[in-house]
Amino acid sequence: MHERSIIHLNVADFAVAVERVVDRRLRDRPVIIAPAGAARAAVYDMSDEAYQSGVRKAMALRRALRCCPDAAVLPPHPDRYERAMTGFLRHALPYSPLIEMTDYKGHLFIDATGTGRLFGPPRDLAERIRRIVRHDLEFDPIWSVAANKLVAKVASRTVKPNGESMVPPGTEPGFLAPLSLHLIPGIEPEDLGRLRDLNLASAGQLARLSPAQLTVAFGNRSRVLYEAVHGIDPSPVLPVGQAPPVVRAEHTFGTDTNDTVVVDGILYRLVEQIGADLRGRRLAARRVGVTLDYADGGRIARQAAVRPATAGDPSLFTAARTALCRTWVRRVRIRNLRVVCDRLTYPPAQLDLFVKDAAARQRHDGLMTTLDAIRRRFGPEAVSFGRTMGVGLAG
């Protein structure tokens, strides 16, 4: 079987890059993109200059402006970014039928396996696409080439905001070894908290643990962690036009109900099930949808955004509760509850900037790690949140 050649193209800070093409005056100053006039506006995207000043995605705009007071603030234009992304995709289409657009934020995976006779080595193809995009769209994408999507994604993260990276087949463990664990897709914040407790900070340190040792510390998460730090990822590049993946779970109530405690508990159980599935696939969700089927045949579906993308149960549940509140607007009893997570992507590689944020996250991660350890030893029902007490998923 031939080694795969996966190209990852990434236009860093894509929304900012698009706005700078529209208005060239923005190229020489820091830029923050956030909704205009919103009382609780949060950062949608920012330029590298703003990032270096301390601005982070999903940060409150007021806080971001304290970090970078000279930044230009622009409202987001999702339709503009979607058109730009379509143009980006169009420039890659002549070179492979296997091109996966993970989002509208400047990322493309291209499976260049077997295209060498037509277009030359993968690195030459990546550079060719980069030159064309730079000329026609005025973007300057990062490119990386590796044997799978996970390693290609990590490689592009190491050369931001611009650059290129090649990871030859067979060198993945050595390439990953010195890297901080937060750069590795599939390693969740809860994992990072536990890893800090074990004084493990790099992929190489974690890779020294055997599968048996990982199982003791992380239970059913051990396989994901083992494969991540060893650069193992068999997931294919999806063909152009294939429907994006989603993760869903649902529950049909044995007796139609409008009991808020029961519905709340089932919602959390479904979120736990989806979160485990996402983490196993090394993906994070950017949107949660809830659909309610009522006893009289009515159906209502609503969604809520997740920022930043996550596979962690608490954050997913917060978004699911928001979607549920938007959906549960009738007094008729509920027959079926469905939760769907979509707009899946790799988890963002972003560390907490402020000590207070990091400390709060570490306390939360420590709690989740302890709960996971208890459940692994004594079973999933050994410890439950109050909202799930007495609530099961069996119809």
Report the CATH number at residue 61. Answer: 3.40.1170.60
Confidence of residue 291 (pLDDT cuts 50, 70, 90): very high
More confident residue, 157 or 390: 157
Q: Is the pLDDT of residue 369 over 70?
A: no
Q: Is residue 70 part of a domain?
A: yes
Q: Average of pLDDT values for 211-225?
A: 86
pLDDT computed for residue 360 by the predictor:
58
Residue 214 lies in a domain: no
Q: The CATH number of the domain where 315 resides is what?
A: 3.30.1490.100
**Domains: count for the chain:** 2
Which band of pLDDT confidence, cut at 50, 70 and 90, is reported for residue 395? very low
Helix (H) or strand (E) holding 121: none
Is 19 contained in some domain? yes
Residues 6+ positions from 154 with CB-CB distance below 8 Å: 175, 176, 179, 183, 184, 185
Final residue in a domain of this structure, among 77, 94, 118: 77
What is the tens place of the pLDDT at every residue in 306-325? 888 888 888 899 999 999 99
Coil, helix or strand at residue 307:
strand
Decide if 296 is inside a domain.
Answer: yes
Average pLDDT over residues 162-171: 93
Asked if the structure places residue 66 within a domain, the reply is yes
Domain end, chosen from 24, 53, 77, is at: 77
Question: Is 309 part of any domain?
Answer: yes
Flag whether 193 is in a domain: no
User: Residue 358: CB partners within 8 Å, gap ≥ 6?
Assistant: 351, 352
Q: What is the pLDDT of residue 367?
A: 57
Average pLDDT of 47-64?
Answer: 92
Mean residue pLDDT of the chain comes to 86
74-127 pLDDT, tens digit each: 999 988 999 999 999 999 999 998 999 877 789 999 999 999 899 999 999 999
Question: Dihedral angle at the C-alpha atoms of 127, 131, 132, 136, nearest 10 degrees?
Answer: 150
Query: 192 lies in a domain?
Result: no
Q: 302 is in which domain, residue-wise?
A: 247-388
Picking from 77, 100, 118, the residue at the C-terminal end of a domain is 77
Distance CA 385, CA 153 (A): 35
Q: Report yes or no: 130 and 143 within 8 Å, Cβ to Cβ.
A: yes
Higher pLDDT, 248 or 37: 248
Write the CA distances from 273 to 49, 140, 279, 313, integer angstroms: 39, 40, 10, 9
pTM check: above 0.85: no
Give me the mean pLDDT over the 143-168 stretch. Answer: 93
